[in-house]
Amino acid sequence: MESDIEMELESDNDGEYDDDYDYYNTGEDCDVERLDPKRADPEYFEYDCLTVEDIEKLLNELVEKLNTILQITPSLAKVLLLEHQWNNTVVVEKYRQDANALLVTARIKPPTSSADAASTSAAAAAQLLKMGSSGYKAPPAVGGNANTPPYRSQMCPVCASSQLGDKFYSLACGHSFCKDCWTMYFETQIFQGISIQIGCMAPMCNVRVPEDLVLTLVTRPVMRDKYQQFAFKDYVKSHPELRFCPGPNCQIIVQSSEISAKRAICKVCRTGFCFKCGMDYHAPTDCQVIKKWLTKCADDSETANYISAHTKDCPKCHICIEKNGGCNHMQCFNCKHDFCWMCLGDWKTHGSEYYECSRYKDNPNIANESVHVQAREALKKYLHYYERWENHSKSLKLEQQTIERLRQRINTKVMNGSGTWIDWQYLFNAAGLLAKCRYTLQYTYPYAYYMEAGSRKNLFEYQQAQLEAEIENLSWKIERAETTDLGDLENQMDIAEKRRTTLLKDFFPVAV
């Protein structure tokens, strides 16, 4: 950005600073510099969205680097990198320490018994790594003359046919099989989705087949392509800094050097996900907790669904109400009673800064009561958090409908001559921010559920309540906004977003 501005300056003014421009630019530069995004925004995340070609280039560079350092074939370099999270330094270090052990753990070489360990020195290991695809073939018999062929005939243990020795290939383990058997074996394995994990055909032998042997023997283009696709997938998955975009049919790979539970948004398909675990983004809850929570919800949802029905009765006139929009501030269409959808209490008590409703009050006497009561108490506690989680999740799902309704309302307003279409655009920004805040709020409930009772939990629930109250305010204001409310609404947006970032700053585990 800075360089852009400078370039513009130079081209426009030939290096001479005009007073107006100077003033304008320094102002903007300062602004950019003053805000360190890492401090200001707890969700700040630097990442790149790369294509398959970019990644291939990146991985090949790593392979080439290891090639030049250790003088080994690219396909073995790939195996070693794959086994060590693509960390060149670790591979080189381990190689210098104990090349033999490195090759055994990477399944390039079979484990050696202690008796012949001495003979397999580092030199032998180095020899093994340098051999190219031709190295898989048995060498011609020594001392062959013009009368005897250089290869003797031998039997392949798989197809049970006798062939000349030059048709045979073997890995470091020495198990020798004929070319046709290897090829058919590779094709059956690739067909089952196995690529870089293909092993030797001998029983109880776990030596891995490197890429170059597979690609030398498999000639059908379809199978070669498949192999390369599967292998590429495995390479990306083994690289700690790379993630496939989880969007449907999306080819993008996201890269970041910061491996934390932050939100990455694919620049192509707009899918957002947690970079660490690949699930839906879940701040302030961390990856393990959200996994635990989602499993729990999947297990208990039947009970929870049964208990928290989709409708509630108005606390005053007892008419049945189905909630079809985002806001928790309900107004009964029948008796005009204002109440809270969560606790069914009077809305007036929610207006103050303390939003009682989102707090679950632990019963301090629970330890003294029977197992039965404890179980019921545990279910009650779970349902308290689950209902709120589910409630916000439903509100978010209705977002599209809410925006559609907003659009209709604006249309009617514009038709009636109150403001122009442009005057109303700010409402869409507000709705976007509301969804963002509600999303974070939804994920605060699993966090609170697994928190231990104490002052930190109190603080968390206090902040959560604050956030919830501001979100409900915002939601209420959006639904009833007029053109003249712009200032008030923007103020409310600012407050809600501040509450959200404050909570994340204090509790989001990866925040700096």
Return residues touching other proteins (CB under 8 A).
157-161, 175, 177, 181, 184-185, 188-189, 200-205
Smallest separation (angstroms) from other proteins to the CB of 199:
8
Helix axes 74-83, 52-70, angle to 10 degrees: 100
Provide, rounded to whole angstroms, the least separation between the CB of residue 207 and other proteins: 12
Rounded Cα–Cα distance for residues 505 and 512 (Å):
8
Question: Can you spell out the DSSP letters for 48-94?
Answer: EEE-HHHHHHHHHHHHHHHHHHH---HHHHHHHHHHTTT-HHHHHHH
Classified as helix, coil or strand, 106 is coil
The full DSSP string for 334-365 is TT--EEETTT--BGGGGSSS--GGG-----TT
CB of 162 to other proteins, least distance (A): 12
Annotated catalytic, 340? no
Question: Tokens for 249?
Answer: 């049919």
Rounded least distance, CB 204 to other proteins, Å: 7
H or E, element range at 485? none
Residues 6+ apart with CB under 8 A from 101: 94
Shortest distance (Å) from residue 201 CB to other proteins = 4
- Selecting among 181, 200, 314, 327, the annotated active-site residue is 327
Query: C-beta of 185: minimal distance to other proteins in Å?
Result: 5
Residue whose CB is less far from other proteins, 162 or 295: 162
Between residues 175 and 316, which has the closer beta carbon with respect to other proteins? 175
Q: Which amino acid type is present at position 139? A: P
212/238 Cα distance (integer angstroms): 19
- By beta-carbon proximity to other proteins, the closer residue of 177 and 293 is 177
Comparison of 201 and 215: residue with beta carbon closer to other proteins? 201
Least CB distance to other proteins at residue 161 (A):
7
Distance between CA atoms of 298 and 293, rounded to whole angstroms? 9
Question: Which residue carries 């302030």 as its tokens?
Answer: 284
Report angle CA 330, 332, 338 to the nearest 5 degrees. Answer: 50
Identity of the residue, 13 or 188, whose beta carbon is nearer to other proteins in the bound complex: 188
Q: Following CA atoms 89, 95, 101, 102 in sequence, which dihedral angle do they give, to the nearest 10 degrees?
A: 50
Cα 52 from chain centre: 18
CA angle 468, 499, 277 (to 5 degrees): 85
3-state secondary structure 259-277: CCCCEEECCCCCCEEECCC
Cβ proximity to other proteins: between 45 and 177 the closer is: 177
Looking at the Cβ atoms of 162 and 484, the one nearer to other proteins is 162
Q: Which residues are catalytic?
A: 327
